[in-house]
Amino acid sequence: MGLITKILILVLTVGTAYVGLKICQPDPVPVVEDEYWGPKSDQGKKEDSSIRPFKIDIPAATLDDLKGRLKRELDSNRLVSPLEGVGFEYGFNSKFLKTVGNHWLSKYDWKVREKLLNKYPHFKTKIGGLDIHFQHVKPKAKNGVAPRPLLLIHGWPGSIVEFQKIIPLLSEPKNSKYNYELVIPSLPGYGFSDPAARRGLSTTEMGNIFKRLMKRLGHEKFYVMGGDWGAMITMDMASVYPGNVIAAQSNMCSSISTGLTHVRYILATLLPTFLMTPEETKVVLPYSKLISDLFRESGYAHIHMTKPDTVGVALTHSPLGLAAYILEKFSTWTDKSWMNREDGGILENFTMDELLDNVMVYWVTGSMTSSQRLYAEAMDPAKKHKLDRVPTEVPFSCQFMPNEIIVQPRFSLVDKLKNIQRYSISPKGGHFGAFEAPEVVAEDAITHFEKF
């Protein structure tokens, strides 16, 4: 072997080892400062830290305006007919959208729905220059033990509406020694929480705001659970505040670029008998299928990551457009096989009224544009905190619903989540777990939290 070849082999070996080590190396836990996100004009002013009771009470003018728009849109004949024989394959079916619009205009009674949404108390408080809205449900002590504080975090295109059915199952659970004091915030820029006035408010920063919120409510240590963006914020909080998060439950555990996640995923699907349980084998997609499914389902996310404000204009002006954009997700994300149905199957697992409640939260607050910006912040290559490679030791329960878009095998999560105490595939449900199957999600959370 010539000297050149020897040197080449040496360089290659050292290089590969270096790259390998680099890929596997965890990043240190970053320090996340309390930041100010409000308008420049108010910066530096002393912040009012009071907690103010809040009630959802939408002015009649907003509701009249909505009815006027809905009526015009339904009467206008501007809805484009779907292709023959097509259900939801090209997106929300416009025939069914008429049904939704007619229900919204004539049967949906906001005053009744508003009362239901006000059943559990709401508050607002200023954090980092933003009014943060949250529901706070505080049951009495159970068997002499104070209720345990639990933060519930929603995602996109969700809202606090998703959690209304799970509230009593957690605040007054039947089969548990403990009960839970629930704090259910609207993400900044979503629903009744203020949007940031400047760039950079991503999941890590939202976690910082929620940690401050919990502290303001008297809780240094607490439990956290979430789905969708709420699951990302849950993971970020566990990574940055391991001393504050006692335990976490997520119905979308994910690891994106930690260590060898992708290699692990592929290995697991190639060697299922060794690296997956039979339950995982049934729902974890082969990598190529995962990529093609993601490609089909994630166009919206690419738009949000890059030009959220453009599509936001249309969605903030047209109620039918907004309903189609939001409710399409309740079809394929709940069950992919419903894509070829004219009604997208969305009424199989949700009522029209509760689906419209969620659309209303976006409509009356005009928050679709600001909600979409979270994708841009989270995917910004120049963002301040990147936590993909910051592992966490916080005990997790990863509860996957069988119809979730991405079910990551346990084997692919362990570089990021070092302490997965429970990993399960539920018997039923899709992406909106707490909304669709509240009793299934509550049971998992309670069983998990009981141990910590």
Ligand X SMILES: *[C@@H]1O[C@H](CO)[C@@H](O)[C@H](O)[C@H]1NC(C)=O
Tell the smallest beta-carbon distance from residue 434 to ligand X (Å): 11
DSSP letter (8 states) at residue 90: T
Question: Considering only CA atoms, which of 435, 438, 452, 357 is closest in space to residue 170?
Answer: 438
**Applying CB under 6 A, which of residues 437, 441, 442, 445 lies at the interface with ligand X?**
437
Residue whose entry in the numeric block shows the structure tokens 């991503």: 202
- The bridge status of strand 222-226 relative to strand 180-185 is unpaired
User: Does residue number 251 form part of the binding site for ligand X (CB under 6 A)?
Assistant: no
Is 249 or 349 the residue whose CB approaches ligand X more closely?
A: 349
* Rg of the chain (C-alpha set): 23
Q: Which is nearer to ligand X, 230 or 430 (CB)?
A: 430
Active-site residue 64, yes or no? no
Kindly write out the interface string for residues 329-348 of this chain, putting x where it contacts ligand X by CB under 6 A and - elsewhere.
Answer: -------------------x
Q: Which of 6, 317, 428, 451 binds ligand X (CB under 6 A)?
A: 428
Q: Rank residues 161 and 275 by Cβ distance to ligand X and give the closer one.
A: 161
Q: Does 351 bind ligand X (CB under 6 A)?
A: no
Stretch that binds ligand X, among 10-18, 77-85, 260-268, 428-436 (CB under 6 A): 428-436
Between 201 and 327, name the residue whose CB sits nearer to ligand X: 327
Active-site pick, 36, 241, 375, 423 = 375
Give the C-alpha distances (Å, rounded to integers) separating 6 from 13, 15, 16, 18, 326.
11, 14, 15, 18, 60
Q: How far apart are the two ends of the chain, measured CA to CA in Å?
A: 60
Q: Does 169 contact ligand X by CB under 6 A?
A: no
Tell me how far, at minimum, the Cβ of 425 lies from ligand X, in Å: 13
Q: Is 362 in contact with 371 (CB distance < 8 Å)? A: yes
**Other Cβ atoms closer than 10 A to 355:** 23
Catalytic-residue membership of 448: no
**Cβ at position 226, least distance to ligand X in Å:** 18
**Out of 193, 258, 261, 349, the residue judged to bind ligand X by CB under 6 A:** 349
Active site residue 431: yes
In whole angstroms, give the CA distance from residue 183 to residue 212.
12
Q: Check if the beta carbon of residue 51 is closer than 8 Å to that of residue 125.
A: yes
Per CB under 6 A, contacts with ligand X among 255-274 are none
What lies within 8 Å, CB to CB, of 87 at 6+ separation is: 93, 338, 339, 340, 341, 342, 343, 344
DSSP letter assigned to residue 144: T
Kindly determine how many residues on this chain lie close enough to bind ligand X according to the rule CB under 6 A. 6
Residue 436 in contact with ligand X, rule: CB under 6 A: yes
Q: Is 187 in the site for ligand X (CB under 6 A)?
A: no
DSSP β-bridge partners for residue 422: 397
User: Positive or negative, the Cα torsion across 407, 411, 413, 418?
Assistant: positive
User: Which residue has tokens 């049971």?
Assistant: 443
Q: How far is the CB of 103 from ligand X (least distance, A)?
A: 19
The residues that touch ligand X, with contacts defined as CB under 6 A, are: 348-349, 428-429, 436-437
Catalytic residues: 228, 375, 431
